[in-house]
Amino acid sequence: MYKVVIIDDEPLIVEGLTRSIKWEKYHCEVVGTGCSGQEGLELLEEMKPDIVFSDIRMPNMDGLSMIAAAKSQHPDMEITILTGFQDFEYARKAIQLGVTRFLVKPSKMDELQEAVEVMVKNLQAKGYYDSISEAGTCDEGTEPDTVEEEAPGAEIEETEASSFLVNNALKYMEEHYREKLKLQDVADQVYVSQWHLSKLLNRYKAQSFSDILNNIRIEKAKELLRDPSLRIGDIADMVGFLDMAHFSRVFKRQTGVSANEYRNSLK
């Protein structure tokens, strides 16, 4: 049986989808439902479904980011979007991220059934005659979420979903570089494990999280060094370094000169 998860902040729609479609006809079983984006994320991580029906706009959750996270970590997962918003740009982006169908509420029964048929056919074409977890993607429905616990040689495919996540992660780092930022903090913002984000950054940027963050901080420091009224120690603190010695080492490693020498070269 293919595992199905339904996510929508309208309980009536969740119940309607669960009851109105003859899931067994398509060799499917609804294994979980959620009424919020966060609940949906937890379900996707716990259940590793083959098929997902989800709203794209829910309180406190960017539906596109949730879809990107799901497709980046589980590229074979089939997703149909249900939305009350006839937003072409959202539809275009969702399709780019890899959703199978984009349906506007209220959806007709034949549209829903056609979406299920297509998703099942897609899974069969990929050789998915059973659930993802039974096919060997993850043992016992679990996935380690740390760099050390995950298989270090696993490959990350370049997809629209992964590119979307990387851009969101970089944007967050650009906006929060002054903070005591950790890989897990950024991973939480794009709804993936820190292992997966680490792999994505290496795949797309050919750099580690620390190197990317240091690059951002040093570029900001170079801008601030143009202001002679700012002390170098204060600049180090302003761009997020915890101590002057660390700032000095990173600055010289990346620019080839000390911060003071760089400032003098601007005169």
pLDDT, tens digit, 9 for 90 and up, residues 203-216: 999 999 999 999 99
Whether residue 193 has pLDDT greater than 90: no
pLDDT of residue 153 exceeding 60: no
Q: Which amino acid is at 251?
A: F
How many angstroms separate the CA atoms of 239 and 219, rounded?
Answer: 9
| Identity of the highest mean pLDDT range in 86-95, 130-139, 147-156 | 86-95
Q: How much is the pLDDT for 55?
A: 86
d(CA 44, CA 38): 10
Q: Report the C-alpha gap between 146 and 136 in whole angstroms.
A: 20
Which has the higher per-residue pLDDT, 100 or 133? 100
Element (H, E) at 102: strand 101-104
Residue of 96, 113, 82 whose CA lies nearest to 7: 82
Give yes or no for a cis peptide into 75 (omega within 30° of 0): no
For the segment 171-190, the average pLDDT, to the nearest whole number, is 94
Q: Which range (98-102, 135-139, 159-163, 197-201) has the least confidence? A: 135-139
pTM (global) more than 0.85: no
Domain boundary assignment for the chain: 2-140, 212-265
pLDDT tens-place string over residues 41-72:
888 888 999 999 988 877 767 778 888 888 88
CATH class of residue range 212-265? mainly alpha
pLDDT of residue 267: 76
Does the pLDDT of residue 143 top 70, yes or no?
Answer: no
Residue 132: the pLDDT is: 39
Class of the domain covering 2-140: alpha beta
Closest by alpha carbon to 198, among 189, 207, 45, 190? 207
DSSP assignment string, 128-192: -SS-TTTTTSSGGG----STTTS-TT------HHHHHHHHHHHHHHHHHTTS---HHHHHHHTTS
- Three-state secondary-structure class, residue 52: strand
The predicted pLDDT at position 89 comes to 75
